[in-house]
Amino acid sequence: MHEFTAELRARLGEAHEELRRAREAGDEHGVQIASGRLDNLTRLAADHGISLEAAGETE
């Protein structure tokens, strides 16, 4: 696995966890921030031809 792909997947995992925590806390601003981060990382993966569905990283 390329280093870029591994780093991207790690950041996606962090963003998913951040989103989960924000939802549990009822933090709407945190949910918006984490959702935006996930959108950006997902778009970056798509731009580089990295499939997230195969890794179970889509929501």
Q: What pLDDT, on the 0 to 100 scale, is given for residue 47?
A: 95
Q: In which band, very low, low, confident or very high, does the pLDDT at 52 lie, cut at 50, 70 and 90?
A: confident
Cβ(31)–Cβ(16) below 8 Å: no
Indicate whether 58 pLDDT > 70: no
Give the rounded percent of residues in the chain with a pLDDT score beyond 90: 80
DSSP letter for each residue of 29-55: HHHHHHHHHHHHHHHHHHHTT--STTT
pLDDT over 90 at 43, yes or no: yes
Sign of CA dihedral 11, 15, 18, 20: negative
Range of the domain at 8: 3-47
Determine, yes or no, domain membership for 52: no
> Cα separation of 31 and 28, whole Å?
5
Residue 42 lies in a domain: yes
Banded model confidence at residue 33, pLDDT cuts 50, 70, 90: very high
> Is residue 11 domain-resident?
yes
Is 23 a residue whose pLDDT tops 90? yes
Q: How many domains does the chain have?
A: 1
